[in-house]
């Protein structure tokens, strides 16, 4: 973005660019190290993982942990469950939050600011405190042990902050653009869709990834709400590797590696859209 | 915005006020849950295997044709919350397995059915293991049925003993220390070697010493629990713990438990000659180090007197029936089958668990490698069967006690006294 | 939002917050209140129904004595301010607050500083490296925090840990069998590192996204004017992304004050023994250790009130029309 603009013509600029690159590499190494350790362990047999001298490369390379992990009961079922729950959550959250963010930003809506404050307050309540009352209300609504119940929970938990972040992005898009579109004969809905939405896309991406990860990784609510093995999501299944006496570390690490895979794939697909269309010169006077 | 905020807050508070009937009241929905000929049983992971529970179910279905039985396996992680929320819901499982150290809390909670009236009809009820039965009783009632048990003995590396010139396992604590010296000498070249790797927080291994010297964790006098750790017997046991732990195990082990590092790996890697472990750990050790297959021996943890071991801590589970279940009679039938001698023995043979009654302990004679575990079970004791014990465990009080004694930064008597006052509070806490 | 930059250059369009200028089309909109309300309705319903009731319950429960027994036998015992009294008179209370304060300042501070740095860094490197950095951060972020806690526990294990191994190999023999969780300070150090490690990605990615919305022309103009990268950031980029930045700060404060999982796992449940008890742990201990949900609810209420007090000023600014005048 800016690097190409400012250019690397002068010697100082060139040195700086190499400095930035070096810093980036160091950062990547530190950031990735624990992940690399997890993946490294997932290809090692259990004895090797917990031995005295750590090995930085899987000396006794084995696929056993992965085979073992995917072979455990309910893996595919719970994977499917996680996908259903999380994709629904993300889609719902983004739609509802985008509409809400637009409503409180683009219109003079009575109570909008109060609404914003209240949902931020909601965000302040420790989640552990909410588990039991939430469980009871879902029980009353007969939504226990159902996908709808869990999806609704995740949506409600990630909505507040998503609305806030999207609000920031919506406010960053100049009103003029939409007005221009309206003058050109667009409907208001069309203006949202054709102008606002693409420009807010980067915000939608980062909040979408956040909701994805939050819902994908949650153990507490999924464990309490889903009562049957066939309804579990992946994090609950993951903890099957820990009995009260022994931990199958290899299997656990392999499962975690597999577990993180869909998120990474999802991100790789959407990360290009992280850059806004604004800088491509779409702004018209 | 201020006006809007005030208005909305008022609405919110009204809603709260209306819903403020309390969580408890809101949980009280109509308990006329319809029975649809399905029995739900919750069992814990890693214990009773599916073939065994299927066999029980098959027998159950002969008595109750047309009924389906769903056995749901639960994780240990967060199980207490899960059980509590399940019991508070409108559709709890009909029967649930509960760890024997947790069951007292549930017994006192009113969530489980009182089984006193049918106790005599339950199989082997006259000789259930005390460690499983005690916690399931509350105010004279029986709220769960003993299900399975497990205990721990010393697991040792036969090769290492041979190398150190030890011809037979120690049968007294003094002999254990002597053997420890021999092992230290034989393996002086091994870095961070422990003759007996004994994590400081490992209270399952520490309690036997308290009991061996005649002490107790707490005693119920006049309806109240009183911590007993400052009694002469308990103090002697704790001092012995400090001696043994410090002499036989590396300093780094004083403030950890068996999982970090995994003690089975320590033994498998040759960093130790002995550990205190359960039957299930034998397989874990040999799978980590194949060379140790057939090289592992066991002996009961010795006591101060030669020939008399320390009383062992019985762990295990009970199985209870939810009060709000619409299928209580059927649940009871399933439980009766599961705790019947026939299926108990099946469980023992298939899953390496121990049965729930002393009359069944003889089956251990026919099992390879299990003999000492059964021998140990003949002399056992258990934790105070108070509903407050769950909090003691959640707060890691026992872990702190034994690791602090091992670390030796404070006088043993001082540590015992402060733990006693904590126990006094927690064990008598209003539930 | 672009007001502060407006004085510098004529190249931008002249946007204004929607409240300043209201041409005909928008005036018609404000009269028809229905559309915005309809847009807001789904959010209102979802948050209100699913969370409103439970939160109401939490508040109500904080004034009750609610243990397992009461819960399962469906009794409601009101005990007024008794829970709050025991909280405030508890010797732990002040210590918990103090620990939480230092902890939150450290985690939020580090997260924001490093996160902003990375966001800027991403703008200064080529596409390939930028993708690598994003993916690296994503990997860290995507790891379930329970699995991450296990890995970090291994890394810092006393006898078997890689970190000790590496440090000893580098010649720092004092780290042989070093117990990172022996003291409260050292334990907090490791915990902070892990939380910051997983918190940076979201901040960096969101800030980067926000930075991309700054029109390219502004950068070009500033560079032409001879401004250094730091000045460009301070005078051009930061004012534009400041609202998002403030929001991220507030959210980070809220999240890090309530953090539970990582602290619990990294201390292997020994949190109380080594005195690592921030607010989130304390809430859990009060509620679940002794199964006194009334007490736990009171802690939750106190937490919310404290957070409101701390962040109130910034929230007020964020909701008002116009910019954040931090």
Q: What are the domain boundaries of chain A? A: 2-66, 73-280
Please give the full DSSP string across C157-212, using - where no structure is assigned. -TTT-HHHHHHHHTT-GGGTT--TTSSHHHHHHHHHHHHHHHHHHHHHHHHHHHHT
Domain-located, residue C2:
no
Interface-testing mutation among B13, B18, B20, with chain C (most C C-beta atoms within 10 A):
B20
Phi-psi domain of B310 (left: phi exceeds 0; alpha: psi -120 through 50; beta: other) = beta
Identify the domain containing residue C117 by its residue range.
Answer: 92-319
- Does residue B169 sit in the same domain as residue B274? yes
Contact B46, A245 (CB under 8 A): yes
Q: Please indicate whether, in this complex, the C-beta atoms of B396 and C53 are within 8 angstroms of each other.
A: no
Domain-located, residue C22:
no
- Does residue B285 sit in the same domain as residue B333? no
Q: Which chains touch C (3 or more CB pairs under 8 A)?
A: A, B
| Span C284-303, pLDDT tens digits | 887 777 778 888 889 899 99
Q: Please indicate whether, in this complex, the C-beta atoms of B396 and C68 are within 8 angstroms of each other.
A: no
Looking at residue C302, which CATH number applies to its domain?
A: 1.10.3720.10
The pLDDT > 90 percentage for chain C reads 17
The C-alpha of B132 sits at a distance from chain C's nearest C-alpha, in angstroms, of 22
Contact B43, B53 (CB under 8 A): yes
Q: Residue C53: pLDDT band by 50, 70, 90 thresholds?
A: confident
- Does residue B117 sit in the same domain as residue B136? yes
Contact A160, C47 (CB under 8 A): yes
- CATH (one of 1.10.3720.10, 3.40.50.720, 3.30.460.20, 2.60.40.10) for A73-280: 1.10.3720.10
| Span A77-131, pLDDT tens digits | 888 999 999 999 999 999 999 989 888 887 777 778 888 888 888 888 888 888 8
The ipTM assigned to this model is 0.77
| Span C101-117, pLDDT tens digits | 999 999 999 999 999 99
- Does residue B192 sit in the same domain as residue B286? yes
Domain-located, residue C31:
no
- The per-residue pLDDT for A275 is 56
Whether the CB of B70 is below 8 Å from some CB of chain A: the reply is: yes
Q: Residue A51: pLDDT band by 50, 70, 90 thresholds?
A: low
Looking at residue B229, which CATH number applies to its domain?
A: 3.40.190.10
- Give B198 or C148, the one with higher predicted confidence: B198
Q: What is the mean pLDDT of residues A184-195?
A: 75
- The per-residue pLDDT for C14 is 39
Please state whether the predicted TM-score (pTM) of the whole model is above 0.90: no
H, E, C per residue of A148-181:
HHHHHHHHHHHHHHHHHHHHHHHHHCCHHHHHHH
Domain-located, residue B25:
no
- Does residue B108 sit in the same domain as residue B121? yes
| Span C274-285, pLDDT tens digits | 888 888 888 888
Q: Residue B171: pLDDT band by 50, 70, 90 thresholds?
A: very high
Identify the domain containing residue B266 by its residue range.
Answer: 152-313+395-427
Q: Where are the beta strands (DSSP E) in B175-314?
A: 194-197, 218-221, 224-227, 272-278, 296-299, 312-313
Whether the CB of C75 is below 8 Å from some CB of chain B: the reply is: yes
The pLDDT > 70 percentage for chain A reads 85
Which residues from C are below 8 Å from A192, CB to CB?
none
Domain-located, residue B1:
no
Domain-located, residue B343:
yes
- The per-residue pLDDT for C9 is 32
Domain-located, residue C3:
no
Question: How many domains, in total, are found in chain B?
Answer: 2
H, E, C per residue of C270-308:
CCCCCCCCCHHHHHHHHHHHCCCHHHHHHHHHHHHHHHH
Interface list for A 168-187 with C (CB within 8 A): 168-169, 171-176, 179, 182-183
- The per-residue pLDDT for B309 is 93
The C-alpha of C269 sits at a distance from chain B's nearest C-alpha, in angstroms, of 8
Contact B319, B95 (CB under 8 A): yes
Which residues from A are below 8 Å from C30, CB to CB?
107-108
Domain-located, residue B14:
no
The C-alpha of A242 sits at a distance from chain B's nearest C-alpha, in angstroms, of 8
Whether the CB of C183 is below 8 Å from some CB of chain B: the reply is: no
């Amino acid at each position: 973005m800016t690097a190409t603009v400012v250019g690397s013509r002068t010697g100082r600029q060139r040195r700086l660019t190499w400095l930035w690159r070096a810093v980036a590499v160091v950062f990547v190494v530190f950031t990735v190290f624990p992940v690399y350790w997890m993946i490294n362990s997932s290809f090692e047999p259990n004895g090797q993982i917990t031995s005295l001298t750590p090995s930085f490369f899987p000396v006794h390379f084995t696929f056993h942990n992965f085979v073992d992990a995917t072979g455990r009961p309910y893996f595919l079922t719970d994977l499917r469950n996680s996908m259903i729950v999380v994709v629904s959550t993300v889609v719902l959250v983004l739609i509802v939050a985008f509409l809400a963010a637009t409503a409180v930003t683009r219109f003079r809506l009575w109570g909008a600011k109060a609404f914003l404050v209240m949902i931020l307050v909601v965000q302040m309540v420790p989640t552990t405190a909410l588990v039991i009352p939430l469980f009871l209300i879902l029980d009353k609504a007969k939504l226990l042990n159902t996908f709808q119940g869990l999806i609704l929970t995740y949506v409600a938990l990630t909505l507040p902050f998503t609305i806030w972040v999207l609000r920031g992005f919506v406010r960053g898009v100049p009103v003029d653009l939409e007005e221009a579109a309206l003058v050109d004969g667009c409907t208001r809905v069309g203006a949202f869709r054709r102008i606002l939405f693409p420009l807010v896309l980067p915000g939608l991406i980062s909040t979408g990834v956040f909701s994805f990860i939050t819902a994908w990784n949650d153990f507490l609510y999924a464990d309490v709400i889903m009562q049957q093995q066939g309804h579990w999501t992946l994090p609950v299944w993951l903890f099957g590797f820990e009995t009260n006496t022994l931990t199958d570390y290899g299997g656990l690490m392999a499962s975690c590696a597999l577990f993180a895979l869909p998120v990474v794939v999802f991100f790789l697909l959407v990360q290009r859209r992280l850059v806004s269309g604004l800088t491509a010169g779409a702004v018209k006077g | 915005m201020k006006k809007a905020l005030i208005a909305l807050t008022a609405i919110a508070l009204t809603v709260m006020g209306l819903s403020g009937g309390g969580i408890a009241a809101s949980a009280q929905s109509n308990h006329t849950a319809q029975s649809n000929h399905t029995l739900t049983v919750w069992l814990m992971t890693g214990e009773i295997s599916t073939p065994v529970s299927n066999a029980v179910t098959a027998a159950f279905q002969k008595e109750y044709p047309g009924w389906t039985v769903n056995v749901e396996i639960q994780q240990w992680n967060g199980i207490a919350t899960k059980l509590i929320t399940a019991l508070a819901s409108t559709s709890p499982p009909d029967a649930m397995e509960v760890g024997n150290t947790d069951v007292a809390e549930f017994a006192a909670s009113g969530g489980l059915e009182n089984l006193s009236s049918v106790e005599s009809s339950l199989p082997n009820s006259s000789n259930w293991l005390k460690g499983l039965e005690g916690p399931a009783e509350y105010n004279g009632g029986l709220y769960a049925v003993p299900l399975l048990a497990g205990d721990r003995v010393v697991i040792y590396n036969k090769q290492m003993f041979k190398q150190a010139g030890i011809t037979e396992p120690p049968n007294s604590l003094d002999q254990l220390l002597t053997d420890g010296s021999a092992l230290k000498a034989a393996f002086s070249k091994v870095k961070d070697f422990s003759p007996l790797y004994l994590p400081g927080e490992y209270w399952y291994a520490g309690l036997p010493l308290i009991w061996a010297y005649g002490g107790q964790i707490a005693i119920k006098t006049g309806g109240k629990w009183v911590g007993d750790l400052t009694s002469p017997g308990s103090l002697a046991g704790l001092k012995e713990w400090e001696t043994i732990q410090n002499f036989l195990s590396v300093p780094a082990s004083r403030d950890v438990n068996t999982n970090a590092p995994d003690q089975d790996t320590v033994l498998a890697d040759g960093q130790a000659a002995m550990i205190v472990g359960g039957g299930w750990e034998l397989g874990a050790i040999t799978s980590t180090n194949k060379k140790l297959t057939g090289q592992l021996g066991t002996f009961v943890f010795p006591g101060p007197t030669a020939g008399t071991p320390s009383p062992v801590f019985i762990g295990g589970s009970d199985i209870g029936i939810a009060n709000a279940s619409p299928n209580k009679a059927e649940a009871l039938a399933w439980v009766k089958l599961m705790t019947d001698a026939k299926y108990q023995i099946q469980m023992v043979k298939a899953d390496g668990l121990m049965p729930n009654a002393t009359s069944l302990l003889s089956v251990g004679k026919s099992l390879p490698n299990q003999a000492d575990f059964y021998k140990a079970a003949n002399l056992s004791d258990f934790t105070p069967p108070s509903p407050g014990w769950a909090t003691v465990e959640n707060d890691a009080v026992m872990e702190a006690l034994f690791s602090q004694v091992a670390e030796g930064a404070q006088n043993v008597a001082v540590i015992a006294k402060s733990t006693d006052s904590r126990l006094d509070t927690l064990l008598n806490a209003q539930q | 939002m672009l007001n502060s930059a407006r004085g510098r250059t004529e190249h931008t369009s002249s946007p204004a917050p929607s409240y300043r200028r209201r041409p005909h089309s928008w005036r018609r909109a404000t009269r028809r209140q229905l559309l915005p309300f309809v847009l807001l309705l789904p959010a209102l319903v979802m948050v209100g129904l699913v969370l409103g009731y439970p939160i109401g319950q939490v508040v109500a429960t904080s004034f009750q004595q609610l243990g397992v027994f009461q819960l399962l036998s469906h009794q409601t015992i009101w005990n007024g301010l008794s829970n709050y009294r025991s909280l405030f008179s508890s010797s732990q209370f002040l210590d918990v607050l103090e620990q939480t304060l230092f902890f939150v300042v450290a985690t939020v501070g580090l997260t924001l500083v490093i996160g902003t740095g990375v966001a800027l860094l991403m703008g200064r490197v080529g596409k390939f490296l930028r993708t690598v950095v994003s993916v690296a951060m994503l990997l860290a972020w995507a790891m379930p925090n329970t699995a991450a806690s296990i890995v970090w526990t291994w890394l810092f294990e006393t006898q078997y840990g890689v970190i000790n191994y590496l440090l000893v190999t580098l010649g720092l023999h004092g780290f042989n069998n070093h117990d990172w969780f022996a003291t409260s300070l050292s334990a907090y150090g490791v915990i902070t590192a892990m939380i910051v490690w997983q918190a940076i990605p979201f901040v960096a990615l969101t800030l980067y996204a926000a930075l991309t919305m700054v029109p390219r022309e502004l950068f070009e103009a500033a560079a032409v004017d001879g401004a250094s990268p730091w000045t460009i950031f301070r005078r051009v980029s930061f004012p534009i992304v400041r609202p998002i930045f403030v929001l991220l700060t507030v959210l980070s404060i809220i999240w890090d004050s309530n953090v539970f999982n990582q602290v619990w796992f990294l201390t292997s449940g020994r949190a109380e023994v080594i005195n690592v008890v921030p607010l989130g742990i304390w809430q859990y201990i009060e509620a679940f250790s002794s199964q006194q949900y009334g007490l736990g609810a009171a802690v939750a209420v106190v937490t919310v009130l404290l957070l409101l007090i701390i962040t109130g000023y910034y929230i007020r600014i964020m909701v008002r029309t116009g910019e954040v005048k931090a």
